[in-house]
Amino acid sequence: MTENLKRLPDNPERSARARLALEGLSVGDAFGQQFFFPWIVERADENCLPAPRWNYTDDTEMAIGIIQVLEEAGEIDQARLAKRFAERYLAEPDRGYGAGAIDLLKRMAEGIHWTDASRELFSGSGSFGNGAAMRAAPIGAWYAGEPDTIIHQAALSAEVTHSHVEGKAGAIAVALAASWAHEWRQAARKPPATELLTSTAERLPKSEVRRGIEQAANIPLKTWPFEVASELGCGHQITAQDTVPFCLWLAAGQLKNYCTAMWTTARIGGDIDTNCAIVGGIVALATGPDGVPDQWRAHREALRW
């Protein structure tokens, strides 16, 4: 299958799915970024959208890089992806990259091989931040319905910047959930939304991310989200294990309504732009193209390809 993709880099259906995930991800990212200060979150009103222009962050920048590599190569080519990440960072360094990511991307831009640069982070253990997860929904969309390939490709995408098992597990989890959301939309008989959590968790490597998603699967989807955030975490620590389980729980509970998903996610706090990016990428695949309102798309700044 991979060889066929290499021979046929033009995959319009795969590209359409990946770009739909990017729409949900990027609009969510830009929307969430409008709530950067706590006092703004407290005044959030669903009847009053934040004023445009909504600028997107590194979440979207790196997701665009992933789609570019998929459309060019038909799969995750790690060397190509590392180069793309470094180039996009140098072109627009003020997109909110974290300190670790800045150091890593600068090293890559200087010619240090990505394997060395990535594994040198955190005393050689690699990063377990939520950065690989935040950009992973397009991978699940591209390979929708192919879980084994999703696991492999998502891990490859994560390793370029997040070589720790938790960082990779976060990316795999989001990609699998994105694929599940697309299949859910296509299904004549919809499986229960909780299967997004259970089917994702059962395919993950042993990790805190997996444990958190298993825990999330046992929490009713109607539970008050603030209570769930206090139990699972909501990105305050900027780690995969503190971010991904809650985001998947939120997405599972709001598969039919992108706007409600975004407002709910933003109100919780934590790593708001990343949480909205993760939830948005998944939910857009469940609602389809019409789920992300035109007004929201217009408020987000134009994507730079």
Return the pLDDT at 2. Answer: 44
Give the angle 69-121-169 at the CA atoms, nearest 5°. Answer: 60
With contact defined as beta carbons under 8 Å apart, do 285 and 17 qualify?
yes
Sites in the chain below the pLDDT cut of 50: 1-8
Return the pLDDT at 43. Answer: 65
Task: Name the binding residues.
Answer: 57-59, 271, 273-274
Return the pLDDT at 36. Answer: 79
Return the pLDDT at 125. Answer: 85
With contact defined as beta carbons under 8 Å apart, do 174 and 137 qualify?
yes
pTM, two decimal places: 0.95
Return the pLDDT at 3. Answer: 42
Return the pLDDT at 124. Answer: 83
With contact defined as beta carbons under 8 Å apart, do 140 and 178 qualify?
yes
Q: Which domains does the chain have, with CATH numbers?
A: 2-299 (1.10.4080.10)
Whole-angstrom CA distances from 120 to 14, 83, 97, 107 are 34, 18, 18, 11
Return the pLDDT at 38. Answer: 64
DSSP assignment of the chain = -HHHHHH----HHHHHHHHHHHHHHHHHHHHHHTT-SHHHHHT-BTTBPPPSPB---HHHHHHHHHHHHHHHHSS--HHHHHHHHHHHHHH---S---HHHHHHHHHHHTT--HHHHHHTGGGGT---BTHHHHT-HHHHHHTTT-HHHHHHHHHHHHHTT--SHHHHHHHHHHHHHHHHHHHHHH-SSPPPTTHHHHHHHTTSPSSHHHHHHHHHHTS-TTS-HHHHHHHH--STT-BHHHHHHHHHHHHHHTTT-HHHHHHHHHHH-SSHHHHHHHHHHHHHHHH-GGGS-HHHHHHBPPP--
CA 145 to chain CA centroid, nearest Å: 18
Please tell me the number of Cα atoms within 13 Å of 215 on its side-chain side: 18
CA 221 to chain CA centroid, nearest Å: 21
Task: Name the binding residues for Mg(2+).
Answer: 57-59, 271, 273-274
Give pLDDT tens digits for 87-115: 999 999 999 999 999 999 999 999 999 99
With contact defined as beta carbons under 8 Å apart, do 85 and 95 qualify?
no
